[in-house]
Amino acid sequence: MSGQDGCLIDDPMTLSNSPASGGALTLRFWGVRGSTPVCGPDYAEFGGCTPCLEVRCGQRLFLIDAGSGLFNCGQHHRTDLPKEIDLLFSHLHLDHVGGLPFFKPAVFDAERTINTYCGNLDGESAATALERLYAPPLFPVTLDILPCRLAHHGFKAGETLTFPDGIRVDTVLLNHPQGSVGYRFDHGGKRLCVISDVEHTDPWPSPELMDFVAGADLLVYDGMFTDCEYPACRGWGHSTWQKGVELAQAAGVKALAIIHLHPAHTDAVLRAAEAEMQAEMPTAFIARERALIDVGTIGTPRPRVVARFA
């Protein structure tokens, strides 16, 4: 549902969240792995959960994607979450929705509403797709058995989402099978852009994407493949850290974080890639699961990691 000026306000009384007090813009990575979760000693540093990001504009919470990392997000915060949670989907591929029913204890709270926002289906919400996925025999129960209220909202990528507390989030359609949505947060003079899942285009960077991420303090970008791997995976909807650096440098982006890490890329592979990447862009890094980033802490080799296992 979309209103005038791309506003996504259904009923202001039902879409409240914590006020956006404070100027901090923070990002926490709860899941940075693409396609399928992995685990084991080779994945201890970067982590194995599929995409889930926590963005805070002051105290105001957004979640991006409900990959398997959403489980750890729920366990970490327990009941310390707003009664209304806004969950922005990049898109609905399995690695981005598979953690939704495991967002505990949040989904067991009858007083809680989880608003989902889906923008890659030409205005259609996630409701139908999630109902198809979460039903026997693929899943033992349907989501309506959960005590929390799930409210699914659809919009068209490119619209600006405006929330009742005045917070606005810009969106852009990304090149990915069935499309994907990139998000831009501006808060306290800082800019954060999350661009995944996406495949780079030729020519690159595309003017539209360059404009969207221009001047960002931090760009989070899909680096699933290496330059060597990419030719065999053309058309699969993902990109490389090299293309991320090209986009960041062309658009005056201050720092770059790579996510949607390939399940076969072990810690050793990723550390080597990170060193190579930092030779080209010293403020670029590969995202580590659970890292909490204070967006805009520029001037150090990489944005300050506030906490990891706290």
Contacting range for Zn ion; rule: CB under 5 A; set: 16-24, 90-98, 102-110, 187-195: 90-98
Q: Is 95 a binder of Zn ion (CB under 5 A)?
A: yes
Residue 98 C-beta: closest distance to Zn ion, Å: 10
The C-alpha atoms of residue 275 and residue 260 are separated, in whole angstroms, by 18
Residue 13 vs 232, nearer CB to Zn ion: 232
Token representation of residue 137: 């025999």
Subset of residues 195 to 254 that bind Zn ion, contact rule: CB under 5 A: 197
- Find the shortest distance in angstroms from Cβ 237 to Zn ion: 6
Q: Which is nearer to Zn ion, 20 or 70 (CB)?
A: 70
- Residue 153 sits in the site that holds Zn ion (CB under 5 A): no
Q: Which stretch binds Zn ion (CB under 5 A): 91-99, 104-112, 202-210, 297-305?
A: 91-99
Between residue 7 and residue 46, which ones bind Zn ion under the rule CB under 5 A?
Answer: 34
Nearest approach, Cβ of residue 104 and Zn ion (Å): 23
Least Å from the CB of residue 180 to Zn ion: 6
- 251 with 281: CB under 8 angstroms? no
Site string for Zn ion, 106-125 (x = CB under 5 A): --------------------
Taking the complex as a whole, the smallest distance from the CB of residue 67 to Zn ion amounts, in Å, to 8
- Give the interface segment with Zn ion, choosing from 22-30, 115-123, 190-198, 225-233 (CB under 5 A): 190-198
CB 177 to Zn ion: min, Å: 7
Cα(174)–Cα(237) distance, integer angstroms? 9
Which span (53-61, 193-201, 211-219, 227-235) binds Zn ion, by CB under 5 A?
193-201
Binding site for Zn ion (CB under 5 A): 34, 93, 95, 197
